[in-house]
Structures are given as structure tokens and as C-alpha cells.
């Protein structure tokens, strides 16, 4: 059973969401503050974390930073509707997606399942040596085990970053439109004013570093899309 950690200081909301999630087949544990959320999320016992941004004592953004320092568990952020700054900061720090509050339980479940579909694929035990590798220049990716290396060194990626980079790697040297990236990485069309792809690509660029001439390994064409250079 999929284990969900729900971190939100609104006790009434967490109770309502917990009941709905359990009816949908999830195993849910709730905590009401960021510090407890970090401790639980860092235990490695959960498949996914739902994390509210606005909390006392320890904000969701700081909690996310500490969680990411411990592991790469998928994180869905709950943000105030219309607060784009929090969303961008959360995505930039490694959140996999966000849902504006107030949200319906059905929307939350749909987002959780979409993230889990993207991040829970795992390589069968004993098949590591024969697992297919996706190679694009210095980049090597093993989609089955969600593992990647860059210049022969482990490349630490969030689940969403892995999906985006995998799309670009499969089309290395070619321009891929944002709409096509969204469909392949997220399984849904790109909404107007949605900057998730741009924010995650910015994070991936930092992890890959720059070419000797200062250019990024991931080039952008304004208003069109991105391409991963082959070198």
C-alpha cells in the first residue's frame, strides 16, 4: 500500500484529506508542523510527501530543503492560490509538483498518482547489469532504476528532473517543444503561464554545469522549447 505523509498545521483539513486518501487506498500518516514532517519524511518510510508551505515554527520551504538534504522522496507542495513565488521557490528546491489551496480531494489524489507513476518505476532485482541504458554524450540514464550519471559521476535528480532530462536525452541534439516535454514528462498538456518546466530545467542546468565556452548543456529557444546538446 502506498504510504503518504501529510504535513499541514490545519487539523481539520488534514483529517478530511486523510479520510479521503484512505478511501482511495492510501496508507496515510499526518503531522501538524514542519519539524515533525522533516523527521518523518527523512525516515525513508514514505512513498510520497504532501507538504503545506504556510506553517508555523518551520515553513514548508525550509522543511523541503531539509527533506531534500536527506533523501529524494517525491514531494507535492500545497500552496496559496495565486502565490507564484512560493511555487517557483518550491519547484526550484526540488518539489515534484504543487496544488493550490483550497483544493479538492479528487485533484490531490490525481496529482499524487501522476507523480507516483512518474517516479516509482523500479528496475527488477538482479537485472541491473542488463538494464537498458540511455546514453547522450556525457549523460547516461537508467530509466528502470531512475539512476543517472554525468561524466561518470552519480547525478542526483528529483523524480521530476529525471523525467524532464530523460525526454531531452531521448531527443538529444533536437529541439523539443515545451508542449511535447510536458506531455512526455507529465502526461498532460502544458497549462498557460505554467513555469514548472523552466524552473526544473534551471535546476538541471546547475547540476550539469557549463560548457568550456560558458554555454549551458541545455539550450533554450525562446517561446519554443529546449534541446540537450550532444557536444
User: What pTM did the predictor assign?
Assistant: 0.61
Neighbour order of strands in the sheet with 176-177: 176-177, 225-228, 218-221
Go through the domains of the chain in sequence order and give each one's CATH number: 3-119 (3.40.50.2300), 128-228 (1.10.10.10)
Tell me the CB-side half-sphere exposure of residue 76, using CA atoms within 13 A. Answer: 24
The closest of 22, 31, 220, 217 to 137, measured between CA atoms, is 217
The closest of 141, 170, 160 to 201, measured between CA atoms, is 160
Say how far residue 187 (Cα) sits from the centre of its chain: 14
pLDDT digits (tens, 9 = 90+) for 19-31: 999 999 999 999 9
**Across residues 82-93, what is the average pLDDT?**
71
pLDDT digits (tens, 9 = 90+) for 144-187: 777 899 988 999 888 888 889 999 999 999 999 999 998 888 77
pLDDT at 134 over 70: yes
Amino acid at each position: 500500500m502506498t504510504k503518504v505523509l501529510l504535513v499541514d498545521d490545519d487539523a481539520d483539513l488534514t483529517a478530511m484529506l486523510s479520510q479521503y486518501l484512505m478511501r482511495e487506498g492510501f496508507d496515510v500518516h499526518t503531522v501538524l508542523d514542519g519539524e515533525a514532517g522533516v523527521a518523518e519524511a527523512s525516515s525513508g518510510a514514505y512513498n510520497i510527501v504532501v507538504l503545506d508551505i504556510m506553517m508555523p515554527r518551520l515553513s514548508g520551504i525550509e522543511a523541503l530543503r531539509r527533506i531534500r538534504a536527506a533523501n529524494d522522496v517525491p514531494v507535492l507542495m500545497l500552496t496559496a492560490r495565486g502565490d507564484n513565488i512560493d511555487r517557483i521557490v518550491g519547484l526550484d528546491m526540488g518539489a515534484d509538483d504543487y496544488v493550490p489551496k483550497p483544493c479538492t480531494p479528487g485533484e490531490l489524489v490525481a496529482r499524487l498518482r501522476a507523480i507516483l507513476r512518474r517516479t516509482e518505476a523500479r528496475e527488477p532485482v538482479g537485472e541491473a547489469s542488463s538494464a537498458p541504458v540511455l546514453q547522450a554524450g556525457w549523460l547516461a540514464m537508467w530509466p528502470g532504476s531512475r539512476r543517472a550519471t554525468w561524466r561518470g559521476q552519480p547525478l542526483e535528480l528529483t523524480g521530476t528532473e529525471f523525467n524532464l532530462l530523460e525526454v531531452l536525452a531521448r531527443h538529444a541534439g533536437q529541439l523539443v517543444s515545451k508542449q511535447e516535454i510536458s506531455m512526455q514528462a507529465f502526461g498532460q498538456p502544458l497549462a498557460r503561464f505554467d513555469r514548472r518546466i523552466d524552473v526544473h530545467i534551471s535546476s538541471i542546468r546547475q547540476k550539469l554545469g557549463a560548457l568550456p565556452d560558458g554555454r549551458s548543456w541545455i539550450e533554450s529557444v525562446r517561446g519554443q522549447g529546449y534541446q540537450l546538446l550532444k557536444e
